[in-house]
């Protein structure tokens, strides 16, 4: 973990992160919707309009995920907007856990336990 967040630092970034995760969710849905249609059309015309939407959504998704990674934020589930911020608790590495719909970063879990091990801060 190169970057370590405090709960305050993680919470300060939530407004922008909410928007970013919505873009990720939308891009993912575009990719999933277009993928089947593209498979059917690729042999005939290279994917048509859905092909363009697919590639644009793929590029956006890649950019957004790379940005999260550069900030040390781990995207765990793009559909629910579940992310982990590297943090510390009692001198050991942990993850501060948050997902879309939650008001603040209010949970943490051990590095090895994941979402099922979430505990209130």
On whether the CB atoms of residues 105 and 121 are closer than 8 A, the answer is yes
Give the rounded percent of residues in the chain with a pLDDT score beyond 70: 88
- Residue 63 is encoded by which pair of tokens? 């950019």
pTM attached to this predicted model: 0.84
Strands (E) across 1-121 are located at 74-77, 82-89, 92-99, 107-110, 119-120
pLDDT attached to residue 66:
96
**Exposure string over 2-37, b if 16+ CB within 10 A, otherwise e:** eeebebeebbebbeebeebbeebbebbebbeebeeb
Over residues 81-101, the mean pLDDT reads 96
Residue 46: band (very low, low, confident or very high) from pLDDT cuts 50, 70, 90:
low
Look at 48 and 81; give whichever has higher pLDDT: 81
């Amino acid at each position: 973990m190169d970057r370590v967040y405090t709960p305050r630092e993680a919470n300060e970034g939530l407004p922008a992160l909410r928007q970013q995760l919505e873009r990720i969710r939308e891009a993912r849905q575009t990719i999933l919707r277009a993928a089947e249609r593209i498979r059917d059309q690729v042999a005939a015309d290279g994917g048509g309009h859905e092909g363009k939407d697919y590639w644009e959504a793929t590029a956006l998704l890649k950019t957004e995920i790379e940005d999260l990674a550069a900030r040390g934020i781990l995207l765990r589930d793009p559909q629910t907007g579940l992310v982990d911020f590297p943090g510390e608790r009692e001198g050991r590495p942990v993850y501060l856990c948050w997902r879309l719909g939650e008001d603040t970063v209010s949970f943490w879990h051990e590095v090895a336990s994941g979402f099922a091990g979430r505990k209130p801060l």
